[in-house]
Structure 1
Amino acid sequence: MGGAGDAKLSYWVASEKPWTGGATPPPKEADVVVLGAGIAGLTTAYLLARAGRTVAVLEAARVAEGVSGHTTAKVTAQHNVIYADLIRRFGKDKAELYARAQQGAVEWIAGRVAEWDVDCDFRRRDSYVYAETGDTAEKLRAEAEAAASLGLPAEYVTETGLPFAVTGAVRFAGQGQFHPRRWLHALSDRLVAAGGTIHEGVRATGLSGGTVHTTAGDVEARDVVVTTHYPVFDRGVYFARLEPRRTLLMATPVAASAEPPGMYISADSGHTVRATPHGDGSMLIVGGEGYPPGEEGPVQDRFARLAKWGNMTFGVSGFPYQWASQDNTSLDRLPYIGRYHPFADRLWVAAGFGFWGMTNGTFAGHLLTDLITGVESEYSGLFDPSRATIRQSAAHLVGLGLHTAKHYAVDYPSAFRPDGHPDALSPGEGRVTHFGRHPVAVSRDLDGHPHTVSAVCTHLGCLVAFNDAERTWDCPCHGSRFALDGSVLHGPATHPLTPVDLDGDPVKEDAVGEAVREP
């Protein structure tokens, strides 16, 4: 079986050079500070700059190298199977608002790509959710009827263009796909041309009123917009209202004649398929094997299973690009877009896109711009982070709370094992153990160098787990991720894991206290 590539290598990131228009350090003040340079943050910043606001975007890493650089990049209003459920739970009027928001985002992107002549491989493609069983096919028939009733270009079909038979599918005609990094680099250029600034390598570490505390100093703002994928400030209790999940992706070159003609996701297995232009041919992208971060055993085994499925299904021999995407789902499957909490005056958020960030993030930029500039929007109530439907999701909320409590109860005792010194590890291995009375994450990188840091996540104190495929420390409670040296790769954590000196004091006595403070 082929497919033993580098699990950290996203095709989107590898195939496009980094954006070079960033400015540092950040300004001392701005009308609006946007945290996060993904699709939601950049769209919001561009639209606000066009509206006359001075805007500064703060990005902890690089533009479009986070979640937006690790997506499947489907630009579609078809969000798996959702519309029949939205009608059932919210009524047809609200379901139609969601549908219009998503299809509107598709058309806005398509319009700007044409207007700006953006070379981002944007192509119209039909999007399919397909069934592999008879029961699921009937569910998809109802989904097609529901989506069509909301004005979406949906129909039930039995032919998809895939190289295997399906029992039925919902087709959305005329959707889109693109190279996400190229699109976001173009959007970044337009933001700068409109007077905005982007500051890479600047991480927000706290907020006091309108003062954003960062690793590069304080920035004063009239409005602060948090689009960091997982909100970095806990005052909105988003850690109890978002469920993180990772999904694996792989890519390999194929002949243009061999590429599937649409974009696909299985309603049964969760496998995703699409292709994008690559040289004289195409790049086939497959995905699946989703799991909660920090759980479900060796991640490398999941990559192996996905590679096996891709090899057998499409007749390829390996996948030189392998990466993972992470997103968060809200309690009721609708994103949180609006005021950070009911009493927030000038603090805004966009989160919980449920793996459909290309349209949800684009729409979020439009809605947040309306809210910040005082324009009334018919969408504000549906996506309000404090909406009444959140209170109706009590069972799901309790379930997320029990999930976190389980990890506190199980992971801490299991860390106190007699073995665990780095000397016992081979290159590329890691485990959670203890030194003295403190849980410690020990590992060796691929060059054999040992790394020892506190195993206590600096967000809310859960213990991290080793990801053997990506060689990271992942928090199973809220999805924070850290490099082997403890540096933050993915929020909501904003502080690194505490270093541990094996030749001295095992862990600083304030390590756990540091872990549970709010940024």
Structure 2
Amino acid sequence: MTKPLLLPESYWIASTEAPTHPPVEGRVEAQVAVVGGGIAGLCTAWEIARAGRSVAVIEAGRIVAGVTGNTTAKLTAQHGSIYAHLRDAFGPEAARHYADAQTGAVEHVAALASELGIDCEFERVPAFTYAEDESGVEALRDEAAAAREAGLDAEFTTETGLPFPVAGAVRVADQAQFHPRRFLLALAADLTARGGKIYEQSRVVELESEDGGHVLTVDGGSQVRCDEVVIATQFPVIDRLKLFARLTPHRELVVAAPIPESADPGGMYLTGEEHMRSVRTAPFGDGRRLLIVTGEAFTTGDPGTADRLERLTAWTAERFGATEIAYRWAAQDYTTSDRVPFIGALSGEDGVYVACGFGGWGMSNGVAAARLIADTMRGTPPAWAELFGPGRFHLLKEAGRLAASQGKVVKHLIGDRLGRPTPSDPDDLQRGEGAVMRVDGALRAVYRDEDGGLHTLSAACTHLGCVVGFNDAERTWECPCHGSRFSTRGAVLQGPAAAPLDRHPHE
């Protein structure tokens, strides 16, 4: 039986149309350049334009069509077990600062949607982190206490709107969910009305200092000259601090199915069990809601994506009776080694800011990043800015996660080159299959298309050389070290890689 593939568009992208914007041509000038057209980049650019400065957004693809266009769009201050972690690792004040940043982001989106008249399906709902196994209850009680101490309206409960029993849950009241594309496309329109510029299909490949400012070069050679620059690309494409060593990629699958309004569980839900399960709904019309289920978290490049998709689909049908899957897509993000995003000015780099490592919570963290960076540029950083500073390093608290992450990188840089599994011959590949194998003594990424043609590429990611793996549900090549993704023809789909996989003449 043929295994299901992910669809090329998320529900958010399929349900909205976006105007196109030109690429960078020649030499463009702005006071501030923002690299990345997702929620962090667009919100930052809007805040800067509102302050009266000229700003240019440079996006490698289309705005709100990358990570932000494939989110589950939970706008909440509840991020799993984050508050107990922050309290224990860095103290109660750190937990309060994190809560202030996230809560402020939720309220900021609500205020902007009202102020600009944006119809983005903004809904107030509670957020739950739950466990079905009794072994997880004690940790949930601790998280509820830590979240309350941090200032959230949090409580431990055994009552949820889920159609199955739970052993316990943390409930945080008055959170939100929305349609991210509708919100951000409206914000982009207001940005351009304020004089801001948006450039698409312009991948930044270099950043240089020039005459007290900065020059960004995009593929093709065009340039953007600016006084200050914000790198808001999920993973910093310009990485002067070598943050890549402290960022771990993870990818999650999403299925969405219409259900009756009467079956709406009435909130947003998350559990770390069963390789993570996240649940929310969205308006879908005709007395229905769209049930959106995310899960089966994995590292980019790991095998078995199609099997994961089957498991997530089966879980959705079993738990909610939702069998009419209308959309299937994937989401990707990075987690820092201390679980707090890197947001703010790069030390030793005058006028260079970064926003990345949102850990799967890009909606609130992206908005918080915009507020932090814009306020810092004005000389009035928020009280919680230091918590997110990208120059921080807590050796003892990060050592375990760093060692695990770097051990995995070494495995793929060195171990993957010592031996690969079968098939060992391109002729063994079926249509729609891809595998890394030795061809003429070198590791190659080989794919057989639906017409039977072979496409052979170098298996070394063009970022730092890790060996890529094949995603059989999306039919893409993915780097397990730093999350770069490529098409079966080698084109860059997602950075930090800026160059395509090298083609090999074997066909």
TM-score by length of 2: 0.95
**Segment drifting more, 342-351 vs 354-363:** 342-351
Q: Distance in 1 between matches of 2:393 and 2:429?
A: 50
Q: Is 1:450 the counterpart of 2:458 in the alignment?
A: no
Could you tell me which residue of structure 2 aligns to residue 514 of structure 1?
none
Shift of 1:416: 9.3
Superposed CA deviations along residues 311-365 of structure 1, whole A, max 9, x for unmatched, are 111112242311111110001100000123x211111100110000000000000
Within the alignment, does 1:479 sit opposite 2:483 as a pair? yes
Classify 1:174/1:410 alpha carbon distance in 2 versus 1 (closer, same or farther; 3 Å).
same
Q: Is the 8 A contact 1:3 1:318 kept in 2?
A: no
Deviations 1:184-214 (A, max 9, x none): 1011111111111111111001111211110
Among 471, 474, 480, which residue is 1:467 paired with?
471
- Aligned residues between the structures: 499
Q: 1: distance between equivalents of 2:502 and 2:174?
A: 50
Which residue in 1 is equivalent to 2:314?
Answer: 308
Counterpart Cα distance in 2 of 1:35 and 1:43: 12
The whole-number CA distance in structure 1 between the counterparts of 2:105 and 2:205 is 31
Inter-partner Cα distance in structure 1 for 2:271 and 2:487: 32
Distance in 2 (CA, whole Å) between partners of 1:239 and 1:445 is 33
**Equivalent-residue separation in structure 1 for 2:410 and 2:381 (angstroms):** 41
Note if 1:331 corresponds to 2:337: yes
Offset of 1:417 from its aligned partner? Answer: 7.3
**CA–CA separation in structure 1 for the residues paired with 2:326 and 2:85:** 38
Aligned partners of 2:298, 2:481: CA distance in 1, in Å?
A: 13
For each residue in 1:267-312, what CA deviation from the matched residue of structure 2 results, as whole angstroms up to 9, or x when unmatched? 43321111100122111111111011112x3100000011111111
Q: Deviations over 1:90-143 (max 9, x none)?
A: 111121011010001000001111222211111111110111122211211121
Q: Does residue 1:381 correspond to 2:380, yes or no?
A: no
- Cα drift, residue 391 of structure 1: 6.5
The one-character-per-residue Cα deviations of 1:419-440 (angstroms, maximum 9, x if unpaired) are 333x442221111123334321
- CA apart distance, 1:5: 5.5
Q: Is 1:62 the equivalent of 2:62?
A: yes
Alignment partner of 2:415: what SS? helix
Matched position secondary structure for 2:493? strand
For residues 247 and 191 of structure 2, what CA distance do their matches in structure 1 show? 30
Say if 2:249 is the partner of 1:244. Answer: yes
Q: Structure 1 residue 16: deviation in Å?
A: 1.4
In structure 1, distance between residues paired with 2:491 and 2:468: 13
Question: Any idea what the Cα deviations from partners look like across 1:245-264, whole Å, max 9, x if unmatched?
Answer: 11111001112122211110
For the Cα contact (< 8 Å) 2:333–2:358, is it kept in 1? yes
1:272 aligns with 2:282: no
Q: CA deviation at 1:450?
A: 2.7
Partner in structure 2 of residue 498 of structure 1: 502
Measure, in 1, the Cα distance between the counterparts of 2:259 and 2:315: 16
Say whether the 8 Å CA contact 2:6–2:330 is kept in structure 1.
Answer: no
1:113 match: 113
Q: Is the 8 A contact 2:476 2:487 kept in 1?
A: yes
Give the drift of 1:169. 0.8
In 2, Cα distance between the equivalents of 1:57 and 1:300? 35
- What is aligned with 1:429? 433
Equivalences for 1:133-148 in 2 at 5 Å? 133-148=133-148
Alignment-mate amino acid for residue 267 of structure 2: G
Give the conservation status (yes or no) of the 8 Å contact 1:307–1:318: no
Greater CA deviation, 20-29 or 201-210? 20-29
Asked if the contact 1:128–1:169 (Cα under 8 Å) also holds between the matched residues in 2, the reply is: yes
Alpha-carbon spacing, 1:278–1:235, altered in 2? closer, same or farther (3 Å): same
Which amino acid counterpart does residue 328 of structure 1 have in structure 2?
Y
Give the alignment of 1:81-160 within 5 angstroms.
Answer: 81-160=81-160
Shift of 1:180: 1.1
Q: 1:136·1:267 contact (CA, 8 Å) conserved in 2?
A: no
Cα distance between partner residues in 2 of 1:224 and 1:49: 14
Rounded Cα–Cα distance in structure 2 between residues aligned with 1:465 and 1:352: 22
Q: Which residue of 1 aligns with 2:24?
A: 25
Deviation at 1:7, TM superposition (A): 4.2
Residue 22 of structure 1 aligns with an amino acid whose one-letter code is H
Following superposition, the deviation at residue 448 of structure 1 comes to 3.5
Q: 1:372: how far off?
A: 2.0
One-letter amino acid of the structure 1 residue matched with residue 67 of structure 2: V
1:218 equivalent to 2:223? Answer yes
Residue among 283, 291, 294 paired with 2:290? 283
Alpha-carbon distance change, 156 to 3 in structure 1, aligned in 2, over 3 angstroms: farther
In the alignment, is residue 346 of structure 1 matched against residue 351 of structure 2?
yes
1: distance between equivalents of 2:9 and 2:157?
A: 35
1:322 and 1:165, CA in 2 relative to 1: closer, same or farther beyond 3 A?
Answer: same
Contact 1:75 1:178 in 2 (8 A): yes
Q: Secondary structure at the match of 1:86?
A: helix
> Gaps spanning 5+ residues in structure 1: where?
504-519
* 2:16 is the alignment partner of 1:16: yes
Match of 2:71, SS state, is coil
1:163 aligns with 2:163: yes
Q: Find the aligned partners of 1:204 and 1:156 in 2 and give their Cα distance.
A: 46
Q: Distance in 1 between matches of 2:481 and 2:6?
A: 26
Per the alignment, residue 292 of structure 1 pairs with 299
> What's the TM-score once normalised by structure 1's chain length?
0.92
**1:453 & 1:252 partners in 2: Cα distance?**
37
Cα distance change of structure 1 residues 292 and 417 upon mapping to structure 2, 3 Å threshold: closer
CA contact under 8 A between 1:429 and 1:443: conserved in structure 2? yes
CA contact (8 A) 1:16 1:182 kept: yes
> Residues 448 and 198 (structure 1 numbering): CA distance in 2 closer, same or farther, change over 3 Å?
farther
Q: Which moved more, 1:385-394 or 1:221-230?
A: 385-394
Is the 2:130–2:269 Cα contact (8 Å) retained in structure 1? Answer: yes
Aligned to 1:489: 493
